[in-house]
Structure 1
Amino acid sequence: MVKDTDKNTFSELRLQAQTLLAGKPELPDTLQGDVQKLIHELDTYQIELELQNEELRSTQEELEKSRHRYADLYDFAPIAYLTVSDKGLILEANLTAGDMLGVARAQLLNRPFSEFIVTEDQDLFYLHRKKLLETRMQQSYQIRIQKKDGSFFLGLVEAVIRGGSSDPPGQFLLMVNDISAHKEIELARLRRLKNRYQAIVMDQNEMICRFDPQGRITFVNDAYCRYFSVSHTDLVGRKFMPNFHEDDVHLVGDLLKSLTPQKPDKTIELRAHLGDGTMVWQQWCGRAIYDNEENVLRYQAVGRDITKIKQAEEKLQNETKLRQLFLDALPCIAMLLQFDTREIVASNKAAVAVGAVPGMRCYTSWIQRDHPCTWCLAPEIRSTKEPLNNQFWALGIYWDAYWVPVTENFYLHYLFDITEKERNREALNKINEELEQRVMERTLELQQSHAQLLHSEKLAAIGKLAASIAHEFNNPLQSVMTIVQGIEEYSPLEDKEKHLLTLALQECSRMKNLIADLRDFFQPTSGATVHVDLHALLDGLLLISKKDYSSRNIKIIKKYGNDVLPVMAVADQLKQVFINLLNNAADACENGGTITLTTQKIGEHIAVHIEDNGKGIVVADIDHIFEPFFTTKPELKGTGLGLSVSYGIIKQHGGRIDVKSEPGKGSTFSVLLPIESANNDQ
């Protein structure tokens, strides 16, 4: 980088030289070209040297000026500068050093600096010089320096090692500042502070005294003398111990023995007898004052009469005990609290039952939470100033709680444990609910039994009618079949005529079977569980309602499963269930529609799904459709018992009824029956 700078400077000088030559007369043409070029180069070089010399002279002048300025700063600096050799001899010094020591600068050179140090402070100088040479770290210290006239001043010395490569080893620089005036100002300030402190201590109401390790008093304030009715002259320089109670004297010795540099103070309370025989309570704070070697220089004691405080504490303790006895006598948990829920006092019952601790917030000690309880009414009574009551569960106990304002800052909180009473009430309510439930169940059973009885009577009447019709129809039908069969025997018939007779016989057989099915279907059963073929049962119901479905434009689709097994059930009761479900599906298809019957085996159950594409059931009604007397049909068309009775029948068979519905799209009722019914076990 330096070479590049020099090169640039040389180029600039060469350019300046060429510019100067350009103004001179041209060389004669008779000279040869090489000679002319050489002369031109020499002239250019000469000019370059002249320019460099001019620049060097300018730089030298600036250096001389800077050196003079530095010398002035060095010589006339407000502090003394001295360069000291490794042997302690002064090698260099500024004018200030000579003025400060009262010696001409020339007379300082090669003299030991220690000659100007007060004898008592020379060891300190040598100690710091040793540290400086060993650690090469700056040293700062204060020593007394003696002038030529015998007077001395306090100097602040800063010592640093000379670190230049050309400096001899062990050479160092001293900077000395006369701080005598500052020190005198500081001492004056300290004297003022001492006087002020002395006045403050003297005017204190507390008793203050100081004494040496031998127990001799070195200082007492006026309050101390007034309290013990003695004078300063009677105490200072002598040993004095107040007339402490014989049982408390040892506390003073224990206090002094316990003080350490790490814990130099301690406070005790003890009894003392005054000159008139009065016993008083005193509080003393003892402090030990140590030197740099941790030796005790003196002790200081600050005392005060706390008799009235002790009497007030005793009175407060008696009142607290009386208040505690009152709270403990109450037949409940009682606490006195601040409105910030901090406990002031609590009964023993409160401490045992809810862990009440004076000084803590009630929700912290009781519920172990970091925020007020939700049932707390303290904020309300603070604003209304009226008592309030609340009941709640907490910690497994049901509480009857009261909040009573006492003052603007305090309130009384008491609680009764009414858990047993509440549990008795809950048990009574539960018994009442169970009784009501049983009454409802018995009422429902009676209603279902009544409905089943009516249905059975209807079936019985229809069965009798069906049997009578079957009897009345069977005889003529048998005669017709006999006649038709005889026609073929008594006269020869053509093929067409034979076909017609065959068709007639088939229709007669179908009518005979239909009459038999009608008679069997409506024939009352014994009420016992039997194997029921669900497909046959459903087909019989569809046969009866076929004309009704046709007139209402309702299409029936059957999707019977091949693996459907018979179930153990009461046939009449299942007929009643499926009649209700089919009728409801048909009623839902107000303007015609489709009813799909699906059967399937699901695990150990047989499922019968009756699906319609009618108007569906609104969501709000689905949870109520199995309730007795609930119906969405017109008053004269439904009683509200059909689904309730059906639900009860299926439940008695160990099954269930599920329903899915979407308004406007239809409903699906699914009846699930165990293959081995619960009634079979009975």
Structure 2
Amino acid sequence: MPDISKPTLRQKFWLRTKLPFWTGGLVTASITILVETLRQSGIIIPIPFLLVILAVLLTASIDGLKTGMISSAVWAIYVIYATTVPFGPPTLTGGPVQVISGILAVLLVAMRQGWVKDQVDKRTKKLKQTIEQLNNEIAEHQQTEAALRQSEELLRRVFNEAPVGMALADKDYRFFKVNRILTEMLGYTESELIGMTFIDITYPEDLNETNSFIQHLHKGQIGSFRLTKRYLKKNQEILWANVTVIALQDEKGELIDMGMVEDITEGKKTFEALQQSEARYRAIVEDQTELICRFQADGTLTFVNDAYCRYFGKQRSELIGYNFVQFIPVEDQEIPSQIVNSLSWEKPISTGETRVISAEGTICWQQWTSRILFDEQGNFIEYQAVGRDITKLKQAEAEVRTALAKEKEISELRSKFVSLVSHEFRTPLTTIQSSAQILERYSNRLSEEKKISHHYRIQRGVERITKLLDEVLLIGKAEAGKLKFEPAPMDLVAFCYELVESQRISASPKHTLTFIERFLGNSRSEGAYAQMDGNLLEHILTNLLSNAIKYSPEGGTIEFELICNSQSATFRIQDNGIGIPPEDLGQLFESFKRASNVTNIPGTGMGLAIVKQCVDLHRGTIAVDSELGVGSTFTVTMPLHCAN
């Protein structure tokens, strides 16, 4: 209904004030005054009544039929008044009073007529508005009905022509409407499905789950549900479907179920085939001993096989989603990036080697074959890499390189040794040959003293050659591990005294050889007794003493000190010779190695190597302390009692 607001107090006052001045009121009042004047003058002709009719007609023509009818009612009241009030010539007492009272009555009636007209106008306007609103509501209702019919038609078409199976069922699960697609899916006709329930077509193993959802739906606990289930077709084949069921109400408020059935049988078969294929692929991948992984361009792992997990000691969940560079040493982390950045459509495969950190924290070598993967449209997917541990191969390569370098070094040393030995043999042989020729050619001319001197030179040359041969044989046995170790009881002090005396005979007069013996915590007799290999000990001490003399060309004192305690014996030999350069100390005990400052002093480089082998057989140690131009000190410590 339209909202008609009530007039205010000011509006009501103005309305009452202007009512006498309405056209209908003025006409009625004017004619009434004229008729009343004539009547008071004694005119009894029907002119007043004719004027009444004229006033009604005039009012109707000015303000309409409705106002004319109101005027008729007003004049009916006036006629009643006129018949009750006597009329005649006006008098001082009665005439004016009657005229004035008549005029006032007419004016009051006219004012009332205006107020009634105003109320009628308001009611008429309100009625028009109500009728207009009612017409609008009728039009809207008609439009709603049309839209509803259109919507129902659209829903009917959607239901019947939907690309999925659709059905409506009552609260007892019985179908009362199905579409064509559903009948084609299940192999039933529409008439066969109508009246059946979903229980009749549900695969038995899926019935409990479906029942549970339906009961929750009917109890109002859920508004809809969706599940994947199996149906039995008319020919008893299985139909896989995604089912959506929604609870609705019909026009009577009764509960109905609307179901939508999407056939996914082919997709299910494809998915199962894909799963089987993936399972076979995964079994192949997981059975591989090689490390297999897939990763994005930024190195984030998307797949790893069991071998990869075992190698790095991680669970798959600790690897997927993380970057593989965590297993690569910092200095090598650019290598994988360089490998994958070199891959392209034209060059999809690349092989490279890099170091990795294993589960034990050790550095290992891996060889990776990386491949870039694209989809059918040529868009990049990810990278795949297959790695294998080549640590042993790398170690073997390093050993081969070391062996080759050693072989080369040995070959060079052998050549150098042959040269040295040839030189060392040539010198005594030359001496022997020279002295022999002199004795042969000039024996009758030489004095006995000269002959003895030449015989001594020949004897010394033979001894030197014999010593060289012994050293060569000894170093050969030592390197072949065939050097015999035969410890026996011996008196160390007497052994050392005898050795010192023999060295004094061969030393030049400018060399002084001293021997000192010290015993710590025991008597001389206890400390002097030892069990060592005398032959090997002689090689040790003879080489060290002869070297001390040989490498002290300017002469000086050679100190030989024996220090014994209850457990070990220490032999310390100190000279004032040329000393050994610091850079040569590390290779001093290797075969055929000599210090770089002994080029003018003869030697084979075998002596200290033999000494080291002999000390090792005694399970002892040897140390050297040397300073260029000052001298060297060799210290040998061995157990006092050695077992064979």
Per the shorter chain, which TM-score range?
0.3 to 0.5
More helix by share: 2
Relative to the length of structure 2, the TM-score reads 0.42
Who wins on radius of gyration, i.e. which is larger?
2
The higher-RCO structure (CA 8 Å, 6+ apart) is 2
